[in-house]
Amino acid sequence: MKIYDLDEALYNKYIAPTKKDRGASIGIEIEMPVVDISGKAVDEATVLSIADRFREHFRFEITNSDDNGNVNSMTHEETGDNLSFDCSYSNLELSMGKSDDLNILHKRFLKYYNYLQELFRPFGYTLTGMGINPHYNINTNRPVPNERYRMLYHYLHSYRRYEGDIGRHFHDRPDFGTFTSASQVQLDVSHDDLIETLNVFTLLEPYKALLFANSYLPEFPDYLCARNMLWEHSMQGYNPHNIGMFTDKLHSVDELIEYIKSQSIYCTMRDGKYIDFKPVSVRDYFELEKVSGEYFDGSSYRSTTFSPECCDLQYLRTFKFEDLTFRGTIEYRSSCCQPISDVMTVAAFHTGLSIKLDELKELLDKDRVIYSHGYSPAELQDMLSKRELPKFLDRDGLRSQLEAILDIAASGLKERAKNEEHFLAPLYDRAEKLTNPAKEMLEGLEQGIPMTQFIEKYSRI
């Protein structure tokens, strides 16, 4: 594929959809750990049987099954709501079909959540609102047996081959995808606001880390939000442009396209089989004659070579905190799953702020609370993901700035006139106390409160 053809293909995939006339709809994805309260590994057969009962009760249609014939994705035809399993059968995801009203989405979520909890309860199981499955070292952490997750598991475990390639450290938990849970929201973005939205929300990431951290992992004790670090220091972060934040301010759509060209492809499909390979930038990939990779033949992995094709662009999968999608939306990916009582905070926060982009930009452009100490947004995001806040940050200033950000979000929600601003209430409390769910849990554990109490607390509506 010639360079000018690649530019056009990227423009058509990512930029052109932002020019289409669309409603201001919201898409929400909530991943939740499945936990056996007794402390045993989750039985996958039990989880699958409950998913089947859920499908029959709500009349969801089968959209995907694993290699053993088990249904692992189902969708309600009318609403577009979906139940699936993200990476493993101990990580259940509810994706809500698009709506323009957070209250409607919340009501549908609770209907599904309550029914699932009724089904799980007799088995001593529960869903809970944590970004790390509290039994991550007890569960089997096996990938869902299908092409995509088997490939991803294999690719993430290939990190030892490439440790000498880049000056970054890979952690030793390549199975992290099976036990990490996110709360993600997709919002339509207009062409005129695209670049500004990416720039402004990048500056917001350090404050988000402080508000939404909920993925403490004892193996990385400094972090209250280990989930993002796990992505960044894995094969997903082999190319830093595939993960995390935009390190430089974007000035134009042309710059954004050049950035996308610098991101890496690491998988594609041929004859119904996923092939994974050493990451190569989009810019270079389509100039290659042959690519060497591996695929699963049903019993083991085999080496193969293939030629790049234009359709391979659909397998460019990145995990930016602000990820532009082919739907003309920005997917905000950096937030952990929240306690179920606060489950709508992530969506409400981003929705309100997107309405007041100019006000948010002005606040962050003038910020001297965190952006006056010589650190980049990415460095600050990492610092504010940790338990101990940097000593150079003024605590009162942090509280005031967080509250100012929340006031802008509330103003945006009020402008929508759908009575959605009440979803922000838990965040005001966190801002006042400079706390988050992970910090609250860790402090409780150190005071002798058992983990089971937090599993139960974070599962309450």
- Cα separation, 369 vs 319, in Å, equals 28
- Cα separation, 354 vs 345, in Å, equals 14
Task: Read off the pLDDT of each residue in 89-95 and give the average, rounded to a whole number.
Answer: 98
- Cα separation, 81 vs 219, in Å, equals 35
Element (H, E) at 73: strand 71-75
Name the DSSP class of 191: G
- Cα separation, 434 vs 431, in Å, equals 5
Instruction: Grade residue 163 by pLDDT with cuts at 50, 70 and 90.
Output: confident
- Record the tokens describing residue 138, joined without a space: 């007890």
The residue whose two tokens read 């929508």 is: 416
Question: What pLDDT is attached to residue 2?
Answer: 56
> What are the tens digits of pLDDT across the range 231-268?
999 999 999 999 999 999 999 999 999 999 999 999 99
Cα-based distances in Å from 23 to 348, 382, 413, 418 = 17, 35, 16, 15
- Which runs of consecutive H residues, i.e. helices, occur in 317-424? 345-355, 357-365, 377-383, 395-416
> Are 432 and 399 a contacting pair, CB within 8 Å?
yes
DSSP letter string, 52-65: HHHHHHHTPEEEEE
> What are the tens digits of pLDDT across the range 195-233?
999 999 999 999 999 999 999 999 999 999 999 999 999
> What are the tens digits of pLDDT across the range 350-398?
999 999 999 999 999 999 999 999 999 999 999 999 999 999 999 999 9
The number of beta carbons lying within 10 Å of the beta carbon of residue 222 is 11
Return the CATH architecture of domain 3-260+318-457. 2-Layer Sandwich (3.30)
Name the DSSP class of 11: I
Report if pTM > 0.75: yes
> Are 186 and 14 a contacting pair, CB within 8 Å?
no
Please check the confidence at residue 24 and state whether its pLDDT lies above 80. no
For the chain, give every domain's residue range.
3-260+318-457, 264-315
